[in-house]
Amino acid sequence: MGDGGQEAAPERATGGLVEGQTAAGVFDSVDQAGSDLLVVATRELRTIARTPALLALSAAFVVSVFGVARAGTGGGGGFVPLTLDLLTFVEVLIPLLAVAFGYRSILGDRETGELDVLRTFDVSRTAYVGGVYLGRALALVSLVVGTLLAVGLLVPFLTADIPTFLAINAAADSGVRYVRFVALAAGFTLTVLGATVAISAAARTVRTAFALAAALAAALVLGIDTALVTGLAAGVIPERGLSALLALSPNSAFRGLVLSTVVGVLGGTTVTAGNPLANAGGLGLWWLSSLVIAIWRVWPVVDNRRGE
């Protein structure tokens, strides 16, 4: 009891802040979290630059993209044909790259004990996971976007004077459409990498992380689409609800967005590829839920002194 006969409350909310906590303290906390995030992200970039296996995979991706563009009709046919040549290839390669870049991102720190060291410095879960994701995303998205843009720069030099049957007119095959494809590929990359980082945060052994990451890649590349096609053929999935279900698959959502916003018209026929808003929402849901799971599972909330 206090001197006046009233019990003193240790904390009382005032104006959105806990009594004794100033606005400057809140800003200092935010600044510290941002600083921690950038430090972790920088470390991740250095780790990737020093990992020969990831560098070799990156080089293989660059060579493969140029090879596909060279072997197909895209380079000499225009931006839309190039997009169609690369679409399936990108759908398959990006999940595999994301698994390679992310499946040990957090698990590696847990195995070496570095994760415990970081926790003693009162690094928040959000700052740590955000830093890991940001560093890996910068490296992977730069690889994907840089390679696709480099291939696209060759189109004006290789395109024949007479456009192919896919290029209806100059507007239908403009470079803007290809830039859309590159931007969508970047979004797809961020989504799949987020799911892989979530697996790395949840797994406790390398075997578990690899098995879950491999299952994720298989489901994205083949499993989900195959299940939808099988369900549609068996009559289990009605055609009316197919668009919504396709939006729940990152690969299908990405493919639908590319076909609807980049290709648009193919051979004089408008391409129908689901609902663009639903597809974009599906990718966003995967991305957000993956990061939430990663932050939740990286370590127990009770051990986070700063709290999130």
pLDDT for the residue 262? 83
* Top mean-pLDDT range of 11-20, 110-119, 218-227: 110-119
Tokens of 185: 């590929």
Hey, what amino acid is at 299? W
pLDDT for the residue 273? 62
Angle at 253 between CA 247 and CA 257, to 5 degrees: 125
Closest CA to 277 of 251, 256, 292, 259: 256
Pick from 27-31, 158-162, 234-238, 303-307: least confident: 303-307
- Over the stretch 3-59, which tens digit does the pLDDT of each residue have? 444 444 444 334 444 444 565 555 556 777 788 899 999 999 999 999 999 999 999
pLDDT for the residue 272? 55
Hey, what amino acid is at 196? T
User: Per-residue pLDDT for 268 more than 50?
Assistant: no
Work out the average pLDDT over 195-215. Answer: 91
pLDDT for the residue 26? 53
